Amino acid sequence: MKLRAALATIAVAAAGVAVLGGLTDGFRAATSEGAWRLAVAERPRPLPDATLVDQSGRAFRLPALRGRPILVEFFYTSCPAICGLLASQFQSVFERLSTQSEGPEILLLSVSFDPERDTVPELADYAARIGADGRIWRVARVKDPIELRGLLDAFGVVVLPDGAGGFVHNAAIYLVDARGRLAHVYDADAAERAIAELDR
């Protein structure tokens, strides 16, 4: 009986190790988020053909931005916390890109996941507050809310209502390569690292 219990315990432990190994990409990453980032870096992901509308009311398709790298972040304008860190990271990069005369031509794209409240006038007001110029740095929303879910899924963005009118969401800076593929996922405070790696 003790032998059977011991074998059952070993089997359960082995199954747990196998599941954990799968979630962490063969133990190369400490978390499932880390495994996702590693997988993206090793195998860039195609992105859906979503149509967005920027702070000026101009519609554009995501594939139309191919040809140069893009740093992307997801936010909502009334976010009280982490979105401010992302905006400050993009402000720093924008200042650098605005004065840079050489190096890769990079775009910045901030995408709202709150299309009900983040209308074009709200995006325009937000863009003015953070200094997004609409050329190097565009602030946008998905034109058709039905396309939003596919876009969030493609980037690995999780957004949940918080019950108080806001959202709980993960935050990162995403690099879309010149071929229009999700190629790298950086921490929310790592915009300068992303630019340095692009410069190399």
Q: What is the pLDDT along the chain (200 residues), one digit of tens a residue?
A: 565 554 444 544 444 433 334 443 444 446 888 999 999 999 999 999 999 999 999 999 999 999 999 999 999 999 998 999 999 999 999 998 888 766 558 999 999 999 999 999 999 999 999 999 999 999 999 999 899 999 999 999 999 999 999 999 999 999 999 999 999 999 999 998 998 888 77
Do 16 and 52 have their domain in common?
no
**Nearest-angstrom CA–CA distance, 8 and 90:** 52
Do 54 and 34 have their domain in common?
no
Do 186 and 91 have their domain in common?
yes
Do 119 and 78 have their domain in common?
yes
What is the radius of gyration, based on Cα positions, of the chain? Answer: 20
CB atoms within 10 A of CB 192: 13
Do 37 and 51 have their domain in common?
no
Cβ atoms of residues 139 and 126 within 8 Å? yes
The total of structural domains in the chain comes to 2
Segments forming the whole domain that contains residue 164: 46-199
Do 21 and 53 have their domain in common?
no
Do 80 and 24 have their domain in common?
no
Q: Which two tokens stand for residue 190?
A: 């790592």
Cβ atoms of residues 113 and 74 within 8 Å? yes
Return the amino acid letter for 36: W
**Residue 108: DSSP 8-state:** E
**Nearest-angstrom CA–CA distance, 93 and 90:** 5
**Nearest-angstrom CA–CA distance, 31 and 14:** 18
